Structure 1
Amino acid sequence: MTSPRKTLRALIEARRGVLLPGAFNALSARVVEDLGFEALYITGAGVTNMSLGLPDQGFMGLSDIAEHTARIRDAVQLPLLVDADTGFGNALNVRHAVRVLERAGADCIQLEDQVAPKRCGHFNGKEVISTEEAVGKIKAAVDARLDPEMLIMARTDACATQGFEAAVERAQRFAEAGADLLFVEAVTSAEQIRALPQRLGTPQLINMVIGGKTPIVDAGELAGLGYGLVLYANAALQGALAGMQKALGTLREQGRLAEDPALVAPFAERQRLVGKPGWDELERRYR
């Protein structure tokens, strides 16, 4: 059986625009897997929003994302790409973060070049560290991994502060430092989207943020351009929020809420997704 890390490497090298949904906890990861997606992304923004009720501005720590990674690794078999923000410090902190997240079950670890505390890639007010410091952090990540099949994804936010050309140059430097996957965040035009796969030889991820700065482009078109992965980091989160607001708004207005599939998942469906039939079988076996 092929390991998740080998599977993930094959997916990105095929450059066929694989859709990559984000998960913010184990149950959302189960939904991603149940719907037939080929890999999932553990979103730092989603963990911060859903677990802490805070914006994506550097409030998540290494222990938070490691705990979520371990729980999700137990829940699904899919390859896991894990958002490690800035690596939670300098190059030495990056080395530690990679070891912790690899033990927790990550198959790919994403690191970015923002000044800490970081911000969501589609917020204003971002700053980036020097190219030299960022390259050193990527080298530390590459050296830290124990399994050579574990992937390192390098993200740059330089497009917003230094321009598109500077972001491309940084991404190339990250590839030369050993990054397996590149992520140029928050490009703002169709021309930039088309240019990236032509300018950079290393496989790339592109982030489709609903309501963000990057134009939304169909995954098929992005595959034709040569992108490996098409990230929808918080589609599940935004869908869950809309669903909660709709169901609870109905409850508030009407004073009752029946098992209406237009508003809530059926009771039986919830038990299926959390694996209750399997636990019932184990209970019978050990009784």
Structure 2
Amino acid sequence: MLYSQATPEWKRVKLRELLASGSIQQFPGAFNPLSARLIEEKGFAGVYISGAVLANDLGLPDIGLTTLTEVATRAGQIARMTDLPAIVDADTGFGEPMNVARTVQEIENAGLAGLHIEDQFNPKRCGHLDGKNVVDLDTATKRIRAAADARRDPNFLIMARTDIRAVDGLQAAKDRAKALVDAGADAIFPEAMRDLHEFRAIRDAVDVPILANMTEFGKSDLFTKDQLQNVGVNMVIYPVTLLRSAMGAAERVLDTLRNLGTQQVRVPEMLTRARLYDLLDYESYNKFDSDVFNFQIPDIR
């Protein structure tokens, strides 16, 4: 009922425990608060909040157009709906080191368990597109150092993402990952790795948890969690999977409405009224007012 019963501090401790467990953790990407609750119900370890999804949900491309306020607000709305730890994509930190410091504190205030900050230039672009540019090492490490210094809760996770593999190759990615850990990163997100060998190379280069991004239509094959665990990956995200699935379903329903004049043939594919109310925990609101839920819901509705 209402929001999560777990405090942000508890979620941050839980995230640290998950990453130290020795088992790979799956974090599907939530595209709204209700999908975060569904992720929890299905038994996943945590929730990921993608910068691309936040931008796309506003009808914008993933090129750094969203603001800190928009990201912190929406991420907070999503995180508060679940007892699972949630981490958010904070792009390049929304500015220079001072801005990065403020970003960390605003994201902490929003109740997130952690964030990641990348080493691209602004305007940034999706990590699985060609033509990316990365900042120099000094700039990249200053961002992470500012982030680590700014947090108030020592369990808030600072993850460094590097996109340098696509620009300067695997050795550069290994070198940068090491430097970002030295600057204070608690975990490393090596973006757009080409194969399992490359994930293993990053694993061998650093002694902190590493993340794999299993996004559809990207540079990486869609490896299984077992394949990724076997090369030492600690956490895997599926950032846009649910948004793509939901929008694909929406498009098919709209086509059906347009072509047939009714949605009837699509109804069996939909979340039923009963299932939606169950997910919302509708009945529990009777605690406040017995007139809230005093009806029967037909299973087919």
Which of 5, 28, 40 does residue 47 from structure 2 map onto?
40
Aligned residue number for residue 233 of structure 2: 227
How many residue pairs are counted as aligned between the two chains?
285
What secondary structure sits across from 2:288 in the alignment?
helix
Q: Does 2:187 correspond to 1:181?
A: yes
Say what the alpha-carbon RMSD is for the aligned residues.
1.8
Cα 1:257–1:280 change in 2 (3 A) is: farther
- The one-letter amino acid paired with 1:87 is G
Q: How does 1:1-287 map onto structure 2 within 5 Å? A: 3-50=10-57, 52-258=58-264, 262-284=268-290
Aligned-pair identity (%)? 38
TM-score (normalised: structure 2): 0.90
User: Equivalents in 2 of 1:101, 1:39: separation in Å?
Assistant: 17
Aligned residue for 1:71, secondary structure, equals helix
Alpha-carbon deviation of 1:260? 5.1
1:247·1:264 contact (CA, 8 Å) conserved in 2?
no
TM-score normalised by the chain length of structure 1: 0.94
Return the alpha-carbon distance in structure 2 between the equivalents of residues 202 and 28 of structure 1: 29
Give the C-alpha shift of residue 196 in structure 1: 2.0
- Of the two structures, which has the highest relative contact order with CA contacts closer than 8 Å and spacing of 6 or more? 1
1:74-130 deviations in whole A, cap 9, x for unaligned? 211110111100000010000000010100011111100100111110112211111
CA contact (8 A) 2:177 2:205 kept: no
Stretches (4+) displaced over 3 A: 258-262
Write the deviation string for residues 18-77 of structure 1: whole angstroms up to 9, x where unpaired. Answer: 111011221121121121111011111011112x11221111111111111221132111
Distance 2:71 2:146 in 1: 19
How far apart, CA to CA, are the structure 2 residues paired with 1:256 and 1:85? 42
Worse-matched range after superposition: 248-257 or 120-129: 248-257
Q: CA deviation at 1:142?
A: 0.5
For residue 75 of structure 1, give the secondary structure of its aligned residue in structure 2.
Answer: coil
Which sections of structure 1, spanning at least 5 residues, go unmatched?
none
